[in-house]
Amino acid sequence: MASTSTASSASGAATTVSPTSAASAATGTTASTSSQAFGITGGPGFNPNATHTSIAPNGDPGEIVYTQPPLQSTSFYKIAQGEYITFGWNFTNVAVTPTAITVSAACENGNTYPVGPSDGIIAGNAQSVVWYPYGYQSANPSLPLAQAEYTLLVFAQGGPSAIPSPGYLAPNSQLRFALYTPQPYTPLASGWQCAGCGGALEQFKAHPASIALLTTLLVIFLSGFTTLRRVWD
């Protein structure tokens, strides 16, 4: 059974979390194929009376369809106190309820972080998860969230690389989002300065083309002024 890795130390070491074992530990039972429930709300092709033998071998795999945030564009979220992120979805063609669903955020820096209040392990019929990046940041100072783009990974007990099967929830990695840390406000009276403004001005002063442009504009202005003065006289 595949598992998801979550960063746990500054050295890059990772701990392995098994969604099935985590769900079993929470209930005190051992998860198995026979314990999987049927009848999760599904879209087209959903069969409320589905059984392992009644699922058509050539049927469609189960999928999630995101309801928030939108997939059309990358959403940006602040890592700040009181800022929560809600990821929501619907199920379609899912006949077999997963034992558990794992939700994690894969960063472009190579690290993967658990999403949600329960180390990324949520109920198999859950259709949303709320994440508090600031809370994670405070609890994990040795490996903080980066200001970067992330891919949301949602998968069942088969793992993020499971082969899609008819009626079973397939892994999903369609949603992308970004996290950033807002900078504290500094008033002008307290000495705020534009870091890039001065450098741009210095480059303008030093560049030969800038000097030539200023000279040309000055000549045009003086020539036009002289012509107008003659007309007025």
Residue 31 clears pLDDT 50, i.e. is over it: no
Q: Residue 224, exposed/middle/buried by CB under 10 A (0-12, 13-18, 19+)?
A: exposed
- Higher pLDDT: 17 or 134? It is 134
Higher pLDDT, residue 75 or 229: 75
Q: What ranges do the domains of the chain cover?
A: 4-180, 189-232
Q: Which residues fall within 8 angstroms of residue 128, CB to CB, at 6 or more apart? A: 86, 87, 88, 89
Query: CA geometry: angle at 113 spanning 111 and 114, to 5°?
Result: 155
Homologous superfamily (CATH) for 4-180: Immunoglobulins (2.60.40.10)
- Confidence (pLDDT) at 202: 60
Residue 232 CB neighbours (<10 A): 6
Q: What is the distance between the alpha carbons of residues 110 and 163, in angstroms, rounded to a whole number?
A: 23
- Segment 194-224, tens digit of pLDDT: 766 655 556 555 566 767 777 888 888 877 7
Q: Which residues pair with 5 in a beta bridge?
A: 16
Nearest alpha-carbon partner for 155 in 176, 174, 169: 169
Predicted model pTM: 0.62
pLDDT of the residue at 12: 39
Percentages helix, strand, coil for the chain (3-state, rounded to 5) are: 25, 25, 50
DSSP letter string over 71-96?
SSS-EEEE-STT--EEEEEEEES--B
Residue found under tokens 């002008």: 188
Low-confidence winner among 137-141, 150-154, 201-205 (lowest mean pLDDT): 201-205
DSSP state of 33: G
Whether residue 96 is predicted with pLDDT greater than 70 in this model: the reply is: yes
Q: Which residues contact 172 (CB under 8 A, 6 or more apart)?
A: 63, 64, 152, 153, 154, 155
pLDDT at 222: 78
The per-residue pLDDT for 186 is 73
Residue 5 has pLDDT above 70, yes or no: no
